[in-house]
Amino acid sequence: MGEEVQIGATAVGVKVNEGVVLAAEKRVSYGFYTLSKTGKKVFIIDDRLAIASAGIIADMQTLAKILKLNARAYELDMKRKPTVKAMAKLLSVVMFSRRFMPFFAEVLVGGVDEEGAHLIVMDPLGSLIEDNYAALGTGAKVAIGILDAAYRPDMTLQEAKKLAVQAIKAAIERDPVSGGGIDVAVLDKNGAGEEEIKLQLTL
């Protein structure tokens, strides 16, 4: 793995009273080369839980698979769906178990459960921090400014979605390893929805 393979990505999460929005851009870059414009960094785990991530694609995909498997196993065992916090804690245990050879990914865990909406930020070692909004990856420095300026906890989910997309767009403008398009996951008490926002190619 060359040094050019870095956490080149932008992922944001916005929590409001109604639910949570997770968004990430789609660029997979190997240094100065854009390997793919269709990299998926937002993963729906179950119908009320999703993650968005910045890092090595393989690690993100593996973490998403581990979480999906465990969420399903939990549901079968407990006869109820896991809470957002429970799954975030599980992910934290998985990530910290690799303390000395970590998954190279930062993760945003978002979802809605009996207690309401949750957004949890995790670093590659598995730290758990609950927050109202967050930005991860190389574009985070740009995206967080947009979120800081406009976030209100009483926003509607639609407003939150617009804000998240706007933050990712700002990061794409200024972060060379972010781009390609935007994946958005919207979670509220009715379930999880996913959509892709295509970007106009500016020449």
Partner 1 sequence: MFPPAMAGYDRAITIFSPEGKIYQVEYAGEAVKRGWPTVGVKCKSGVVLAAEKRKISALFDPSSLEKIYLIDEHVAASPSGLLADARILIDYARDVTLSHRFIYDEPIDVEFLTKAICNLKQQYTQFGGARPFGVALIVAGIDRHGARLFQTDPSGVYIGYLATAIGAESGTITEYLEKNYKHDLEIGECVELAVRALASAVEITDSNSIEVAYATVEEKKMRKMTADEVATLLAKVPKKA
Q: For residues 40 and 85, which CB has a smaller minimum distance to partner 1 in the complex?
A: 85
Report, in Å, the least distance between residue 89 CB and partner 1: 4
Give the binding site for partner 1 (CB under 8 A): 74, 77-80, 82-83, 85-87, 89-90, 93, 114
Q: For residues 74 and 151, which CB has a smaller minimum distance to partner 1 in the complex?
A: 74
Q: For residues 116 and 176, which CB has a smaller minimum distance to partner 1 in the complex?
A: 116
DSSP string, the chain: --TT-----EEEEEE-SSEEEEEEE--EEETTEEEES----EEEEETTEEEEEEE-HHHHHHHHHHHHHHHHHHHHHHSSPPPHHHHHHHHHHHHHTTTTS--SEEEEEEEEETTEEEEEEE-TT---EE-SEEEEETTHHHHHHHHHHH--TT--HHHHHHHHHHHHHHHHHH-TT--S-EEEEEEETTEEEEEEE--PPP-
Q: For residues 5 and 86, which CB has a smaller minimum distance to partner 1 in the complex?
A: 86
Report, in Å, the least distance between residue 164 CB and partner 1: 27
Q: For residues 90 and 177, which CB has a smaller minimum distance to partner 1 in the complex?
A: 90
Apex 201 CA angle, 196 and 203, nearest 5: 170
Report, in Å, the least distance between residue 148 CB and partner 1: 29
Report, in Å, the least distance between residue 90 CB and partner 1: 6
Residues 152, 158, 160, 166, CA torsion sign: negative
The structure tokens 């303390």 sit at 99
- Residue 38: active-site member: no
Report, in Å, the least distance between residue 113 CB and partner 1: 10
Catalytic residues, by residue number, are: 10
